[in-house]
Amino acid sequence: MDLSKTDLPQTEDEWRVRLTPAEFRVLRQADTEAPFTGEYTDTKTKGVYRCRACGAELFTSDTKFDSHCGWPSFFQPLAEDRVRYIEDNSMGMRRVEVRCANCDSHLGHVFEGEGYGTPTDQRYCINSISLTLEPRED
């Protein structure tokens, strides 16, 4: 399911019908799932992670790493045009929100300079409920 922008729901009420209440809270209202509860937090399965709302390919398992933060972490998106960034000054801190570029759904946040041994020194901290995993065989 990779929906084009013309096939996407146009109103929040249409999104509410398409998504479960928990998915709607995170994807459309920028909520955060509880740490260490998401289905992909510790997953090692190889494949492509897609936006749960529209099916757009966002991340690959090749860029997923163990950050032990409670959410799936990636050091880069599949391509920069797959996500968009919004400055988020909520909760008394400066963060950068990550959204799906195709459907504008909330995915999580990106942090940098935390000292992880990754090629980009970035951690895309993404809610499991914002993703689906399409496994691939090696």
Specify the CATH number for the domain of residue 111.
Answer: 2.170.150.20
pLDDT at position 37 is 94
Assess if residue 3 is contained within a domain: no
- Residues 40-90: pLDDT tens digits? 999 999 999 999 999 999 999 999 999 999 999 999 999 999 999 999 887
Assess if residue 102 is contained within a domain: yes
pLDDT at position 137 is 76
Number of domains comprising the chain: 1
**pTM, rounded to two decimals:** 0.92
List 51, 54, 100, 125, catalytic entry = 125
Is residue 75 within 8 A of residue 116, CB to CB? The reply is yes
Domain range enclosing 61: 8-135
Assess if residue 67 is contained within a domain: yes
Assess if residue 2 is contained within a domain: no
pLDDT at position 89 is 83
Using the predicted structure, report yes or no on whether residue 4 has a pLDDT greater than 70: no
Active site residue 125: yes
Among residues 3, 107, 9, 4, which one has the least CA distance to residue 49? 107
Assess if residue 73 is contained within a domain: yes
How far is the C-alpha of 70 from the C-alpha of 81, rounded, in Å? Answer: 26
Mean of the per-residue pLDDT values of the chain: 93
